[in-house]
Each structure stands twice: as structure tokens, then as C-alpha cells.
Amino acid sequence: MILRQEILKVLKERSGEWVSGEVLSKDLNVSRTTIWKHVKALRDDGYQFESSPRKGYRIMAPADILSPEEVQSGLVTKVFGQKHYVYYRQIDSTNKHARTLAEEGYPEGTLVIAEEQTAGKGRRGREWYSPFNRGIYMSIILRPNLPLRQIPRLSLLTAVALAEVLEETGLRPGIKWPNDILVNGKKIAGILAEIITDMDGVEFIVLGIGININNSSDDFPDDLRTPPTSIMSELGMPGSRVELLQKLLLSLEQLYELLQTDHFTFILEKARRLSTVLGKKVQFDDSGVNIAGMALDLDENGFLLVQDEKGKVHTVISGEIDSL
Ligand code: BTN
């Protein structure tokens, strides 16, 4: 264990109590200055300590930091985020890095997560705004045993997991087909699934998820296509990123197991309940032609069925839908 983690462990074990610099330095066999430097670094990471020249250090609130130490202690998944938990304070894009790891052979369930992304990728070449400590920016490597045509089921599954976990916080989220999670018409989370194929079909998938959690309403760029929101803006109080991540990983793993054992209908039913577009008038782009119609249903692969004004039913496979 590195020294910083050892200091943290001692302070957590005696949470709420003062631990003097002298005791820490004797127990861990380093100088008091070294202890002080590491406590300062932990503070920069977001941990909150009280310190007093006479009494030493005391840890305050539980830290909402997405490090493996904080998250794995309450993570009850079997595989997702367990053996391979790749954590960064800052990275360009977790999807980009997860892809490199997958190419190196990292297994299914590997989690890449960062406190901040400097070049977070959104769908259709857009950027995903990823400021330090405000949201969850994560990517999971999947190696599913599914035919290519069923892969879109994964995005829908992810949208269901996200919406259900957000519902538990007291919000009323909906899924705007195919990949957006909205609350009160504003975007709170997005999914970017990147599929890498080889001659035999799907080699691996990088499932990227971004969730806005503790952003204030003026904390977003102005030019976003769908107006953004966050848990904090909607509920008026901060959300626990650690708790949300633990729940999301569990829900994703459970739904993924259902998918692999041919229980997609169960997920589809949930997606229908959560959909913001079914039964509504929508428009979409079909190879440059704009088509308007009624969103009727989701088919067995999660594609959207839209009936146009002449009664023809279109199967919309990807792209973006606009409500009319
Ligand atoms: C969207 O445009 O709605 C999809 C957004 C996906 C953003 C996430 S954040 C973590 C992961 N890494 C990336 O670079 N993008 C995804």
C-alpha cells in the first residue's frame, strides 16, 4: 500500500477522532513533514480534513471520490469494476483509453474512470463536458456473445440501467431514444457505445457513460444541442457520485446477464415504460430525407418503429430523433 493510502486508512479507521502528526509519523515511519505533504495531496484530491497544530488531523465527511478505495468497499458486482479498476484523476477520454486496454487484451468488466476528461467524446463528434469532480465519466469493456444485429440492445440496456438508478435518487428520468437520459426535457446523462468488429463479428465494445451530477446550472457550455441538467440542479442538493456508481455498475451487470441469457424482453418492457418518445410525434433523418410520424414501439432489437403520415412503418436503426 502506498503511504498516502496508509495515512488515509489510519484516519478513516479513527474517523471523527484527532490523530496527531507525531503518532502518524511514528506508526508509518516517516517524518511529520512527509505526513503533512501527503495530507495536503489528499486534500487536493477532494478529501476533507480538519487540522490543528496541537491535535493533528481529523477526517471529516465521507469523501465522494471515485478512486478504487472509495468505490470498491461498497461494490457488490461479480465482475464489473472489480479486478480491473483503472482510475485517473485526469485523462483525455476514458473511451479512448478503454479501447487501448481492450486491444491489449483487458477482459470484460474492466472499468476505466476519471475525475476529469480533457477531451470527453460525445455522440456524432460532439464533446462531452467533463469538469473535475462534478460527474461520472466511465467506460466499461464488454466482450459480448451476441450477433452484430443485436448489439443496439446494449445501448438500450444501458439507458434502462441509468434511468432506473437515477429514479432511485427521486428524479423522474426518461429515455429519449436511443441514448439520451432526460429529466424535465433536459439531458442529464449520455451513452457512447463504440463497437469494434473483426472477421468473426464483434471483438469488443467500449461502453462509455457520462452523467452530470454536481454541476450547477450555469456550469455548462452554452452551445449544447439539448439543454443540460444535473442531479444537483434538479434536486437542489448534491448527489453522491460514489453511491450512484456502485448502483449503476450493479444494475448494468445484472441487466447484461439477463441480455446474455436471452431475457431481453424484460429489458424492453422497462425501456417502453421509461421512453419519452413512444406515442409522440417525432421526426428523423433517413439518408438526407426528413421523415415525420408517430413513434409506435421498440422492436425486438431496440430499434424505433415510426409510422409516417401515409401509414408506412419505418424501422429507425440509429441517428437522432426530434420531438414535434
Ligand atoms: C452523448 O453524446 O450523449 C454521449 C456522451 C458519452 C460521454 C462519456 S463520458 C465517459 C466516456 N468517455 C468519453 O470520452 N465519452 C464517454
Distance from the CA of 106 to the center of ligand 1, in angstroms? 20
Nearest CA to ligand 1 atom 16: 208
Nearest to 111 by CA among 98, 121, 130: 98
How remote is the CA of residue 190 from the centroid of ligand 1, in Å? 6
> Cα–Cα distance between 61 and 75 in angstroms, integer?
20
Strands 85-88 and 111-114: parallel
Pocket test for ligand 1, best of 123, 137, 175, 241 (most atoms within 8 A of CB): 137
Tell me the CA–centroid distance for residue 91 and ligand 1, in Å. Answer: 13
In tens, the pLDDT along 161-180 reads 999 999 999 999 999 998 89
Atom index in ligand 1 nearest the CA of residue 121 equals: 14
What are the residue ranges of helices labelled H in 77-222?
A: 94-103, 152-167
pLDDT digits (tens, 9 = 90+) for 46-86: 888 888 989 999 987 778 999 998 999 999 999 999 999 99
Q: Phi/psi of residue 308, each to 5°?
A: -80, 180
Q: What is the pLDDT of residues 256-297, one digit of tens each?
A: 999 998 899 999 999 999 999 999 999 988 878 888 999 999
Q: Which atom of ligand 1 is nearest to the CA of 187?
A: 3
pLDDT for res 242? 97
The model's pLDDT over 6-33, given as tens digits with 9 standing for 90+, comes to: 998 898 888 778 999 999 999 999 999 9
